């Protein structure tokens, strides 16, 4: 039985080799997009979990260049700065703030130069142009609004900024890229399904005499249809493996080999996530090919 199945499958592949290769390539491209979108979403979730534990609320203090209502008197004074610090140390705030750190103008300039060391504007910024601030780590980041209400109206405070909002904007852009990748993948998957159906239909048509003889000698429906089914499944499985290989190269040489080295403080997807995605890709390819083949065989190879 297995020998017959293998022989019939190989015969079908030989007769429709160009279509077989086309199915592999279309499946490969579509599953690559699916896998890339999946890895990107895993990366987003991983980065959210990583950075949300580290995001801070920044309480920026007034300087001479600001003109908000709380900065009408000019730059923050020592007494105003001490009042803000006393508020941070109060029991009322301690229930929301896990820890805080004061950042002077000179420290702000140092951090700015570290973050924008490759920017042409790095040497044009001075310490006087950057504000002093208190950096707060909240016990519960969802309680930002409470902290904002406590500090935003205090004299000497210019603005209270939740860094999580900035991260949300970044992640929303990445999510859009992920959705765009999924949209392209969906179109390519439809193309792959149609191509598998066309390949199976052509294969069944080219071997209609053989299948007719098999009907006459009493061959079962499964025996007749299985070789055609295997053609689509093998092509899709190869496409899935190729897509997994490309994603492995991206994770190995781009993510782990470069990004993880350049940004050691950032959590990136690795081989464990890749194995999960690769397994799902191969199974998805096989499932799509099997369903497409079975639907086509029911219509064009009635037994």
- Which neighbouring-strand residues pair with 219? none
| Distance from C-alpha of 78 to C-alpha of 279, rounded to nearest angstrom | 61
Q: Which domain holds residue 113?
A: 57-163
Segment 72-91, tens digit of pLDDT: 778 888 999 999 999 999 99
Task: Give residue 283's pLDDT band: very low, low, confident or very high (50, 70, 90).
Answer: very high
Asked if the model's pLDDT at residue 207 lies above 70, the reply is no
Please check whether residues 80 and 41 belong to one and the same domain: no
pTM listed for this prediction = 0.63
Over range 242-262, report the average pLDDT.
89
Please check whether residues 45 and 27 belong to one and the same domain: yes
Task: Give residue 215's pLDDT band: very low, low, confident or very high (50, 70, 90).
Answer: low
Do 103 and 135 contact (CB within 8 A), yes or no?
yes
Segment 110-147, tens digit of pLDDT: 877 876 665 566 678 888 888 899 988 888 877 888 88
Of 269 and 277, which is predicted with more confidence? 277
Tally of structural domains, the chain? 2
Please check whether residues 174 and 259 belong to one and the same domain: yes
Tokens of 127: 């310490």
Please check whether residues 48 and 62 belong to one and the same domain: no
| Distance from C-alpha of 303 to C-alpha of 298, rounded to nearest angstrom | 8
| Distance from C-alpha of 55 to C-alpha of 136, rounded to nearest angstrom | 9
Q: What CATH number has the domain bearing residue 143?
A: 3.30.70.3040
Do 107 and 61 contact (CB within 8 A), yes or no?
no
Question: Final residue of a domain: which of 120, 143, 163?
Answer: 163
Q: What angle do CA 141, 145, 150 make, to 5 degrees?
A: 115
Over range 85-98, report the average pLDDT.
91
Please check whether residues 173 and 45 belong to one and the same domain: yes
What residues contact 89, with CB distance under 8 A and at least 6 apart? none
Segment 152-164, tens digit of pLDDT: 888 888 888 887 7
| Distance from C-alpha of 130 to C-alpha of 194, rounded to nearest angstrom | 59
Please check whether residues 186 and 274 belong to one and the same domain: yes
Tokens of 51: 């950075």
């Amino acid at each position: 039985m297995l020998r017959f199945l293998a022989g019939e499958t190989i015969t079908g592949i030989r007769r429709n080799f160009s279509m077989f290769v086309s199915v592999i390539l279309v499946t490969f491209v579509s599953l690559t997009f699916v896998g890339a979108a999946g890895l990107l979403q895993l990366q987003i979730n991983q980065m959210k979990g990583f950075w949300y534990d580290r995001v801070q609320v920044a309480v920026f203090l007034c300087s001479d260049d600001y003109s908000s209502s709380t900065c009408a008197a000019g730059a923050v004074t020592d007494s105003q700065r001490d009042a803000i610090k006393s508020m941070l140390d109060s029991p009322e705030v301690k229930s929301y703030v896990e820890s805080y750190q004061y950042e002077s103008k000179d420290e702000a300039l140092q951090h700015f130069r570290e973050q924008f060391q490759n920017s042409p504007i790095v040497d044009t910024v001075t310490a006087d142009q950057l504000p002093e601030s208190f950096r707060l780590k909240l016990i519960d980041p969802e309680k930002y609004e409470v902290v904002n209400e406590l500090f935003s109206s205090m004299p000497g405070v210019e603005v209270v900024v939740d860094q999580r909002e900035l991260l949300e904007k970044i992640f929303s852009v990445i999510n859009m890229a992920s959705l765009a990748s999924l949209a392209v993948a969906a179109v390519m998957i439809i193309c792959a399904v149609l191509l598998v159906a066309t390949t199976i239909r052509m294969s069944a048509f080219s071997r209609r005499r053989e299948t007719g003889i098999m009907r006459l000698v009493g061959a079962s429906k499964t025996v007749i249809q299985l070789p055609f089914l295997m053609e689509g499944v093998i092509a899709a499985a190869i496409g899935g493996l190729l897509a997994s290989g490309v994603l492995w190269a991206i994770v190995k040489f781009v993510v782990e080999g470069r990004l993880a080295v350049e940004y050691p403080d950032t959590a990136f997807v690795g081989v464990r996530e890749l194995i999960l995605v690769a397994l799902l890709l191969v199974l998805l390819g096989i499932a799509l090919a099997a369903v497409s083949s079975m639907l086509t065989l029911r219509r064009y190879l009635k037994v």
